[in-house]
Amino acid sequence: MERFELRRQDFRLDDDQQAVREGFGDFFTKQVPSSLVRDAQPLGFDADLWQRVVAMGATSMGLPEEAGGDGATLVDLVLVAEELGRVVAPVPLVSHVVASRLLARAGGAGELLAAAAEGERVVTLALQPGVGGNRQLVPDAAVARDVLAWSAEGLTLHTLPEPAAHVPNQGSTPLAWFDPAAGERTVLAAGPGAEALFRTAVAEWKLLTGAALVGIAESALQLGVEFAKSRRTLGVAIGALQGVAFPLADVVSEISGARNLVRKAAWYAEHEPATRPDLPLVAFVHAARAATEAAWVSAHTQGGLGFTVEADISLFFLRAKGWSVLGGDPGADRRHIAAALLAAV
Amino acid sequence: MDLGTVELTPEQEAFRQEVRAFLDEIVTEEVHEHERRTGDGFHVGVHLALGSRGWLFPEWPVADGGAGLDRVCQRVLALELARRHVPMVTHSTTGLVWAAVELSADPELAARLKPEVAAGRVRFCLGYSDPEGGSDIAGATLRAVRDGDEWVLNGSKLWTTGAHNCQYTFLITRTDPEAPKHKGLTMFLVPLDSPGVEIQAIHTYGGERTNAVYYTDVHVSDTHRMGDVNAGWATLQGPLSAEHGAGRPDDGLSDVGMAMGTREFEAAIDAAARWAKHTTRPDGTLVADDPAFLDRLGALVVEAEASRVTPGPMGRVKSSLSYIAGIAELVDLVGPEALLAHGADGAIEGGVLDYAHRFAQGTATYGGTTEVFKGMIAQHVLGLPRLNLPGSKQWVR
Ligand SMILES: Cc1cc2nc3c(=O)[nH]c(=O)nc-3n(C[C@H](O)[C@H](O)[C@H](O)COP(=O)(O)OP(=O)(O)OC[C@H]3O[C@@H](n4cnc5c(N)ncnc54)[C@H](O)[C@@H]3O)c2cc1C
């Protein structure tokens, strides 16, 4: 592993990227007050909001131009996902974008891809390899009739008559059990190529979810910081006390690193996918931990109030884990990351 | 965003080859052996050799003793120096102090020193930390009393790293004990060969040597005062914020944050990874095949990656704390072989883990402790209110 390579470390966003970030930031902030998030519980899907997200171009922007997209880069997509996470928007955008990109790469199912680009049909991805016909929990499958899955047979599109039944869960996500025997099945690709497509899609899902987790962490932090500025004890603001301030300083350190790591992973995945294929996993593991820590520290900063359902921090606390856990045990990612290092040294 | 490799022009590529060839010649095993033995963070031969090329201040014009390098070539040089673990502590303190000399020193003195500094014959150390406590820099106690055209210094400093290899120390003194604490400080550039200066070695278990410096009736000319009398706090701000990472050009050719110890952490991680590939445990299993080993090693890779990209002062905290926790974990992962000393039978890659574990601890302390930085992050990044303590504004002894 070359640790002294001459590379730029320029994390500044260019004007277009800045416009994407600000455009979606404004959009999500205006369109998604916390009341909307609460109203969408327990399913975690707001059909109206979804239409508006589609109208923003979010479902098509990441597709190649031939597939009706704008060829937005993964850097653009992580910027959007961070803004989505900031307001914990109840829309299946991450799974949908990743599954649509996978569809486009695999080829076939052109009609579905067109409908997906328009947001008319929601597509999702089973993140675990299918073995022996075992069922698995799939993110957003409670609002998607079309599920992409990979098994020894290949990469398969499962089209169900209607989305599977929602299973209520801590993060209020549209989670559902996926039965690989269910629905109409079309094999889109087979062999090692199919597996590579699947692994890339899972990495993209982790990357975009990592970005959303950075957004969650940032909002959680802000709630804690605002509380710490105004809440008083012994005649001073609690935020003046190091026992309160230092954990918040730790949190902002974790978040700022996770944000750059997500962007770095996105940049490599876009421009040099073969150089550091482990980076999306690195970013996901770090972002998941940052979000877990941010949510807990912020909730705790708010004392008993931070433990109540009424407090907005509850929305972020429950989703910090509720969204990251969908990616499976980070231990598996860490083993991949270490294996990549062993291969490189 | 641009994280791409930098395409070198033929001239820049030739420069890289020149740097590599020159460093191969001057950074000998003797240099590393000297560093292991002394912990000086300095090697006079290497320092003067770099100076002879203008590479101590490579961005300075050639006429000033620099090499007039563009930003890419500066980065090329910095990376090659880092790759070879060239001891650079005194080089870096000299650079920090120079910024203040240029701004605040008597112009005649500055003009006289400049070529000497560029050549490497004059070097500076930081005389900030008091024996009574280094974090409260503005609480400095070493007294300076005016005596005609001179000042008389009495007191002591701890941790003046490199003092025994430097010609001057950039010293914080108290000139008005009655004033609010930030308003009674004056900075001096004190010649270390002045009568009454005594330097005593302090050794760390990280292998570094630093110093206690005692000042007994040391006379310093007023021409060695830096900045106005009682304006020491202002004089100090430039070098302090430079030490804290401010002012680096935002062109992607600087490190993202002020990572502390991340290179040492990475070196240890890489060595452990190589070790795992060829080491079978007494029970016959290959370490690299152990999923628990991989899981825990993977966690450390994440920490090191995060340390590298965490920006600004957050990077200072993150890198140091991740390194300290992570290297202890890495030692557990490898077992007793990790702590075999350089040269011992079975030591891993020259004892790189042993060294990294000892070295880590200091990174949370020097340059401003992690707590001091958390305080700055809380106030300046998060906007949290500052805590007013008895000594926040007053000089409380
Ligand atoms: C190897 C080495 C090299 C060094 N080189 C130099 C040098 O070249 N020049 C120089 O001037 N100094 C140097 N230092 C000194 C270094 O800057 C100080 O050690 C550091 O600033 C801490 O000061 P202290 O050791 O006196 O600890 P103290 O300031 O007494 O602190 C003790 C503990 O209390 C904590 N603490 C103190 N104040 C606060 C606060 N306000 N809030 C929360 N926690 C607090 C600290 O974080 C620390 O954990 C060096 C130190 C070492 C170990």
**Which of B164, B205, B316, B366 has most ligand 1 atoms within 8 Å of its beta carbon, as the pocket-test mutant?**
B366
User: Predicted confidence band at A221 (pLDDT cuts at 50, 70, 90)?
Assistant: very high
Question: What b/e string do you get for A28-46 counting C-beta neighbours within 10 Å, with b at 16 or more?
Answer: beebbeeebbeebeebbbb
Of B59, B87, B115, the one marking the end of a domain is B87
> What is the residue with the minimal CA distance to atom 25 of ligand 1?
B134
Tens-place pLDDT, residues B299-354: 999 999 999 999 999 999 999 999 999 999 999 999 999 999 999 999 999 999 99
**Going along A231-342, which residue ranges are E strands?**
232-233, 236-237
Task: Please say if the pLDDT value at position B243 is more than 80.
Answer: no
CB B41 within 8 A of CB B166: no
What is the A133 CA–ligand 1 centroid distance (Å)? 60
Do B346 and B305 fall into the same domain? yes
Stretch B43-64: mean pLDDT:
98
User: Predicted confidence band at A86 (pLDDT cuts at 50, 70, 90)?
Assistant: very high
A345–B250 CB contact, under 8 Å: no
Q: How many CA atoms lie within 13 A of B267 on its CB side?
A: 21
In 3D space, the residue among A179, A237, A13, A128 whose CA is nearest the CA of residue B384 turns out to be A237
Q: Establish if B106 belongs to a structural domain.
A: no
Stretch B98-118: mean pLDDT:
96
User: Predicted confidence band at A12 (pLDDT cuts at 50, 70, 90)?
Assistant: very high
H-helix or E-strand spanning residue B185: strand B185-191
A334–B1 CB contact, under 8 Å: no
- Tokens 């790469």 locate to A105
**Which of B365, B370, B372, B388 has most ligand 1 atoms within 8 Å of its beta carbon, as the pocket-test mutant?**
B365
Of B87, B111, B132, the one marking the end of a domain is B87
Å between B268 CA and nearest CA of chain A: 12
CB A177 within 8 A of CB A253: no
Which of B298, B382, B387 has its CB closest to that of A252? B382
Do B130 and B192 fall into the same domain? yes
> What is the residue with the minimal CA distance to atom 45 of ligand 1?
B371
CB A133 within 8 A of CB A152: no
Enclosing domain of residue B333? 262-381
Compare all CA atoms of chain B with the CA of A275 and give the residue at the minimum distance.
B4
Chain A contact present for B295, CB below 8 A: yes
Strands B185-191, B168-174: pairing kind? antiparallel
Do B224 and B304 fall into the same domain? no
Do B285 and B376 fall into the same domain? yes
What is the B132 CA–ligand 1 centroid distance (Å)? 10
Cα B224 to Cα B127: distance, rounded to the nearest angstrom: 14
**Share of residues in chain B with pLDDT > 90 (%):** 93
Q: Establish if B9 belongs to a structural domain.
A: yes
Do B140 and B229 fall into the same domain? yes
Q: Backbone phi, then psi, for A290, in 5-degree steps?
A: -60, -40
Question: What's B347's domain CATH number?
Answer: 1.20.140.10
Q: Establish if B281 belongs to a structural domain.
A: yes
Tokens representing A46 are 């707001």
Cα A309 to Cα A306: distance, rounded to the nearest angstrom: 8
Cα B370 to Cα B362: distance, rounded to the nearest angstrom: 11
Task: Please say if the pLDDT value at position B244 is more than 80.
Answer: no
Cα A228 to Cα A223: distance, rounded to the nearest angstrom: 9
Do B322 and B228 fall into the same domain? no
B127 forms beta bridges with: B171
What CATH class has A195-343? Answer: mainly alpha
- Enumerate the domain spans of chain A: 195-343
Q: Establish if B156 belongs to a structural domain.
A: yes
Partner A, chain B 248-277, Cβ-Cβ below 8 Å: 250-256, 263, 266-267, 269-270, 273-274, 276-277
Chain A environment of B266 (Cβ under 8 Å):
3
Tens-place pLDDT, residues A87-124: 999 999 999 999 999 999 999 889 999 999 999 999 99
Partner A, chain B 34-93, Cβ-Cβ below 8 Å: 72, 75-76, 79-80, 82-83
pLDDT at A118: 95
Q: Domain count of chain B?
A: 3
A264–B3 CB contact, under 8 Å: yes
A341–B307 CB contact, under 8 Å: no
Which of B3, B294, B302 has its CB closest to that of A286? B302
User: Predicted confidence band at B251 (pLDDT cuts at 50, 70, 90)?
Assistant: confident
Partner A, chain B 144-173, Cβ-Cβ below 8 Å: none
User: Predicted confidence band at B248 (pLDDT cuts at 50, 70, 90)?
Assistant: confident
Q: What is the ipTM of this complex?
A: 0.97
Do B152 and B219 fall into the same domain? yes
Å between B39 CA and nearest CA of chain A: 24
CB B80 within 8 A of CB B144: no
Q: Establish if B200 belongs to a structural domain.
A: yes
Cα B13 to Cα B6: distance, rounded to the nearest angstrom: 11
Cα B261 to Cα B3: distance, rounded to the nearest angstrom: 22
Q: Establish if B131 belongs to a structural domain.
A: yes
Do B271 and B366 fall into the same domain? yes
Name all residues whose Cβ lies below 6 A of ligand 1: A 242; B 93, 125-129, 133-135, 159-161, 204, 208, 210, 362, 365-366, 368-369, 371-372, 375
B302–A7 CB contact, under 8 Å: no
Running DSSP on this structure, what letter comes out for residue B343? Answer: T
Chain A environment of B310 (Cβ under 8 Å):
253, 256-257, 260
Å between A115 CA and nearest CA of chain B: 32
Q: Establish if B20 belongs to a structural domain.
A: yes
Question: What's B137's domain CATH number?
Answer: 2.40.110.10
CA A208 to chain centre: 4
Q: How many CA atoms lie within 13 A of A288 on its CB side?
A: 25
Q: Establish if B117 belongs to a structural domain.
A: no
**Share of residues in chain A with pLDDT > 70 (%):** 100
Does the global pTM surpass 0.90? yes
Tens-place pLDDT, residues B157-166: 999 999 999 9
Task: Please say if the pLDDT value at position A1 is more than 90.
Answer: no
